[in-house]
Amino acid sequence: MAQKTMRDAINEALHQAMEQDESVFVIGEDVAGCNGSAGDVGAVGGVFGVTTGIYHRWPDRCIDTPISESAIVGAAAGAALVGMRPVAEIMFADFIGVCMDQIVNQMAKFRYMFGGKSRCPAVIRFSAGGGFSAAGQHSQAMYQIMTSFPGLKVVVPSNAYDAKGLMLSAIADDDPVLFFEPKILYQEACEVPDEHYTIPFGEAAFVREGDDVTVVAFGQMVPKAAAAIDELAEEGISCDLIDPRTTSPLDEGAILESVEATGRLVVVDEAPPRCGLTADIAGLAADKAFASLKGPVKQVCAPHSPTPFAPELEAAYLPDGDKIKAAIKATLS
Amino acid sequence: MSIPTETLSEAYRLMKTIREFEERVNAEIMNGQIPGFTHLYTGQEANAVGVCAHLDESDTIISTHRGHGHCIAKGAEVAGMMKELFGSSEGLCKGKGGSMHVADIDRGILGANGIVAGGPPISVGSALAAKIRKNGKVAVSFSGDGSVNQGTCFEAMNMAVVLEAPAVFVIENNYYSEHTNISYAVGCDDLKARTEAFGFPVFVADGADFFAVYEAAGKAIEHARAGNGPAGVFAEQGRYHGHFVGDPQHYRGEGELDDLRENHDCLKNFRARMAETGELDAATLDAIDAEVMAEIEQAVTEAKAAARPTAEQVTEDVYINYGAGA
Ligand SMILES: Cc1ncc(C[n+]2csc(CCOP(=O)(O)OP(=O)(O)O)c2C)c(N)n1
Ligand SMILES: [Mg+2]
């Protein structure tokens, strides 16, 4: 099977969805690129290259926009309401700050407020997360916040294989889906089948299996946690590593089953702690698996601070293997 | 219009400082010395300098992701900026912000801004404060040809008119927003007219000509200072570099970059004008060049030697006072 990067895997999913269904189109800033210029229209394919080649095959369904995030999301939502399947790109998840109303008050709530009489099968893609020294306005995870809004489905892939299958599910889904691509993982490759396949929402992946501690990690923290767990295996500590893959819906069953078996839980996410996913999963365990817990749940996440610029600061800010290992060991002591 | 010789030599010095700062930053990025996302202002220097020449320290500016030039023109300390770009804890923002967030509130620099069109609404607030305080100050926001398509920009322009606030909207048309040409992204043919339709005058200038920008900005700023509400400046001039360092620039036409550097250069134009009028001789300008080169070299040397931030600083400066919970 071919090795593909996460960027190429998502790109392939977009191509396959566009081939299958004429109602699918992509829209966003520079998703084609170079429009109106004397240069090569379509040469960009999104600033991270995720929509590469789509313009050349389907110029009418690869739509560049002005810098207008509210209108981009709104246009996707509106087109979806009348039966299209748009995949909109918001370049950085941080720009949710600009288009929050269209996502949260409009798209998320149509179906409920309209008494179940509407469908909004829109996908909004975002690059997300830290690791680029991109500072406070280009580094945020954001998915933890969006997970709190009923009506939205929220996807956070951690590898190329999952990203392709989850994207194909997202496009086929009849509800609005927010798809957060950890940008530090775009170049990471793994085996990805050429064929069309889907990965259902609400089904976690067991990335490692073990007996001592349950580790739940999200997005770019999944490979970090896997590496930490592999190191600990040499010390005789064995862990389950669960990647929920979608934060809404959440595979509560997989997490609870594992916690019931290990009695110990570490939750890892790159976002700050308050009202985040680590607290969310810790709360789930406290509520539904309390009797199984042998000790306190440990949360590994960023501090309650914006993302700093300097590489040293960002390295200290983001969770890393050492912090994950320390938390796992702390649950065992 | 006669401009005092001192103003002229200072304007030249600032334009040259921006040019050399940016070229050096470009080189240091290539060397792997400067992390993060950096957008260079090279080519557009006359816009920043022509506008800021009319401002004093307590007038405010708010900038964009392409902010180094605006900050230098408004008086930001070059070594402090360089240290910030290198991520030093001695930088203007203690290494917390980097290129996209250079700020110096004491000098009226309300920050570069990583969010396209994040600035104009904030600038209206600064202008409103000036109006309430009746202190004759103005608030300038810089926006690109792409930025003007954001709702926040429209809202800020309309509200400034409604509030009769001394806000000056400087629109810098460098023809592209990232990889998209203005002829695609701005739906109407006449951005100046679209802007004026909000209800304020807009003065147009060739952004490669310091004197043109100086004159247009002078009119706009005078209009706002005099209590007539907002005004605009519309300056056209391409950038010499890509959108970001490393941009393959597929959108450029044949010979476009050569033409820009050859025929649209504010420094060359300034020197030619001085040769004509004799206001500053070539030796004086050469001496300024040498001083600027030395200053930039010194700034880089200092930045490379400057203190690095430490882990405990991550959570400093999130709040002034977070109370008992902290
Ligand atoms: C809200 C938001 N959307 C998109 C971006 C990504 N982005 C950064 S600069 C830029 C282009 C801005 O174009 P323009 O306003 O013309 O300024 P220029 O880069 O030409 O100076 C874009 C799309 C952003 N930083 N913020
Ligand atoms: Mg521009």
Phi and psi at residue A63, in whole multiples of 5°?
Answer: -115, 110
Give me chain A's average pLDDT, please: 98
Q: Which of A115, A117, A105, A113 is nearest to A81 (CA)?
A: A117
Q: What is the pLDDT of residue B141?
A: 98
Q: In what order do the strands lie in the sheet with A239-243?
A: A205-208, A239-243, A213-217, A265-268, A298-300
Averaged pLDDT, A281-303: 98
In a domain, B316, yes or no: no
pLDDT above 60 (res A229): yes
ipTM above 0.90, yes or no: yes
Residue B88 contacts A, CB cutoff 8 Å: yes
In a domain, B312, yes or no: no
What letter would DSSP give residue A289?
Answer: S
- Contact assessment for residue B272 and residue B200, using Cβ atoms and an 8 Å cutoff: no
How many domains, in total, are found in chain B? Answer: 1
| Cα–Cα distances in angstroms (integers) from residue B18 to residues B11, B81, B82, B213, in the given order | 11, 11, 12, 16
Spatial separation of the C-alpha atoms in residues A166 and B160, rounded to whole Å? 46
- Contact assessment for residue A51 and residue A45, using Cβ atoms and an 8 Å cutoff: yes
Q: Do A138 and B150 touch (CB under 8 A)?
A: no
Q: Which CATH number belongs to the domain containing residue B197 in this structure?
A: 3.40.50.970
Q: What is the pLDDT of residues B284-313, one digit of tens each?
A: 999 999 999 999 999 999 999 999 999 999
Mutate-to-test residue for ligand 1 from A67, A90, A91, A132, highest number of ligand atoms within 8 A of CB: A67
Averaged pLDDT, B268-280: 98
- Measured torsion, CA atoms of residues B165, B167, B173, B176, in degrees rounded to the nearest 10: -80
Q: What is the pLDDT of residues A181-228, one digit of tens each?
A: 999 999 999 999 999 999 999 999 999 999 999 999 999 999 999 999
Length of chain A: 333
Ligand 1 atom 3 nearest Cα: B116
Averaged pLDDT, A242-258: 99
Q: For chain A, which domains are there?
A: 3-191 (3.40.50.970), 205-332 (3.40.50.920)
In a domain, B170, yes or no: yes
Residue A305 contacts B, CB cutoff 8 Å: yes
Spatial separation of the C-alpha atoms in residues B205 and B261, rounded to whole Å? 18
Give me chain B's average pLDDT, please: 97
In a domain, B323, yes or no: no
B116 lines ligand 1 (CB under 6 A): yes
Rg of chain A on CA atoms, in Å? 20
Q: What is the pLDDT of residues A119-165, one digit of tens each?
A: 999 999 999 999 999 999 999 999 999 999 999 999 999 999 999 99
Instruction: Please compute, for residue A274, the number of CA atoms within 13 A of its CA located in the half-sphere on the CB side.
Output: 5
| Cα–Cα distances in angstroms (integers) from residue A306 to residues A72, A314, A317, A324, in the given order | 26, 10, 9, 21
Mutate-to-test residue for ligand 1 from B63, B178, B182, highest number of ligand atoms within 8 A of CB: B178
- Contact assessment for residue B56 and residue B116, using Cβ atoms and an 8 Å cutoff: no
Which chain B residues are closer than 8 Å to A34 by Cβ?
179-181, 250-251
What beta strand segments (E) does chain B contain? 60-62, 139-144, 167-173, 176-177, 180-181, 202-206, 231-236
pLDDT band at B323; cut points 50, 70, 90: confident
Q: From the list B88, B180, B183, which residue is nearest A64 (CB)?
A: B180
Phi and psi at residue A154, in whole multiples of 5°?
Answer: -130, 125
* Residues of A with a known catalytic role: 138
pLDDT above 70 (res B324): no
Phi and psi at residue A268, in whole multiples of 5°?
Answer: -125, 125
In a domain, B314, yes or no: no
Contacts of B283 (CB under 8 A, 6+ apart): none
- Contact assessment for residue B117 and residue B64, using Cβ atoms and an 8 Å cutoff: no
Instruction: Please compute, for residue B77, the number of CA atoms within 13 A of its CA located in the half-sphere on the CB side.
Output: 15
Domain membership of residue B278 as a residue range = 5-251+260-306
Q: What is the pLDDT of residues B110-156, one digit of tens each?
A: 999 999 999 999 999 999 999 999 999 999 999 999 999 999 999 99
Residue type, A130: G
Spatial separation of the C-alpha atoms in residues B168 and B150, rounded to whole Å? 17
Ligand 2 center to B238 CA (angstroms): 8
Ligand 1 center to B299 CA (angstroms): 28
Mark which residues 62-121 of A lie under 8 Å from B by CB. 64-71, 94-95, 97-98
In a domain, B285, yes or no: yes
Contacts of A231 (CB under 8 A, 6+ apart): A321, A325
- Contact assessment for residue B59 and residue B167, using Cβ atoms and an 8 Å cutoff: no
What beta strand segments (E) does chain A contain? 3-5, 24-28, 62-64, 85-92, 123-128, 153-155, 177-182, 189-191, 205-208, 213-217, 239-243, 246-248, 265-268, 298-300
In a domain, B82, yes or no: yes
Phi and psi at residue B235, in whole multiples of 5°?
Answer: -120, 135
In a domain, B290, yes or no: yes
Residue of A31, A34, A64, A69 best to disrupt the B interface, most CBs of B under 10 A: A34
Q: Do B37 and A132 touch (CB under 8 A)?
A: yes
pLDDT above 70 (res B326): no
Atom of ligand 1 nearest to the CA of A95: 1
Q: What is the pLDDT of residues B158-196, one digit of tens each?
A: 999 999 999 999 999 999 999 999 999 999 999 999 999
Which chain A residues are closer than 8 Å to B252 by Cβ?
37-39
What is the pTM for the complete model shown? 0.98
